[in-house]
Amino acid sequence: MKRTTIVVAALCGFALMAACADGSSTSVTPTPSPEMSQAEEEPGALAGVTWVDGTPPTLEFETPLHLAEGASVFRVVREGDGPVVDPGDSLLIDCVIVDGADGSMLASTYLGSEPIGYTVTAEAAEGDYVWDAVVGQRQGAQIIIAVTYAAASTATAEVEPTTSVLALTITAVAAGPDGGEVLSRAEGETVTPSSPDLPVVELAADGSPSITIPETLLTSTELVSEVLIRGSGPPLAVGQGVWVHYSGWLTDGTQFDSSWAGTGEPFTFTLGGSVITGWNQGLEGVPVGSQVLLVVPPELGYQDQEMGSIPANSTLIFVVDVLGSA
């Protein structure tokens, strides 16, 4: 189940969450310039920017720092010593974004206590300055990136083109069950369900699941974690980054969420982190490559809180494909 976190536009290309002084946040949707280039390694443009270690790290530079609209540059501060990042790899990245105008922090993955997932796809290379900066680097590398977006719109005002500066660390490079790329769907041995009172899962050609809920659905105060496809990879452990595809339903069959919809990008989280307890408990020890059916009682889900289309005190049903870990 999705955790609440900061979504960093400079990494994902979607929405930049600028932290406000009172702790609230304002969503800004940047519009990349048609001239937005891939990041070019121009150390001279960032020669005056100093990376200061800390949690989070800080960037010191003379303000204002400004690039031409659509421009982006990067500089490797420290080389990594882990696996090399190749196109197609999935990464965990920690990142701090500061305003080039005054050096103030705009967003940080550290505020959510968990790194975010990023996939280095060839399709994303066009205009993706993060892709160009991380490909060929090793896990552990620390990189400074500066980028200028075109004008953006908020709910209340137009935002002029602005330069942001990123302190980025490649925290981990993910792997599928065989040590290669993260899977696109579960792969392994099919396992016969232990009870006829569990939802029946059917898979579409692309692997996306649908379910049929029996009238005698097994619900209780206990968590149900049932492996439907047993993968051949290492078992998941607390503290690992995990890549999954998932769909979730209420017990009346209403689907409330699915990572298969929209862009079809996997969901990334840290096991033992800020996902619901039913996920942390139900996925620990599951081999990478597996598909798991979870029936999560309210006590291990959202309890007496209403969450969007999920009523309070709801039992939740999930089908989770474990695609990779790091």
pLDDT tens sequence across 146-174: 998 776 666 666 767 789 999 999 999 99
| Equal CATH topology for 9-173 and 189-325 | yes
Quick: pLDDT tens for 110-127.
Answer: 876 688 888 877 665 566
Average pLDDT of the chain is: 85
Q: Where are the domains of the chain?
A: 9-173, 189-325
The CATH code of domain 189-325 reads 3.10.50.40
Confidence of residue 237 (pLDDT cuts 50, 70, 90): very high
Query: Active-site residue numbers?
Result: 246, 256-257, 276, 302, 318
Distance CA 105, CA 39 (A): 21
Confidence of residue 310 (pLDDT cuts 50, 70, 90): very high
The CATH code of domain 9-173 reads 3.10.50.40
Quick: pLDDT tens for 248-306.
Answer: 999 999 999 999 997 788 999 999 988 999 999 999 999 999 999 999 999 999 999 99
Distance CA 109, CA 94 (A): 6
Q: Which residue has the higher pLDDT, 4 or 152?
A: 152
Q: Enter the pTM of the model.
A: 0.79
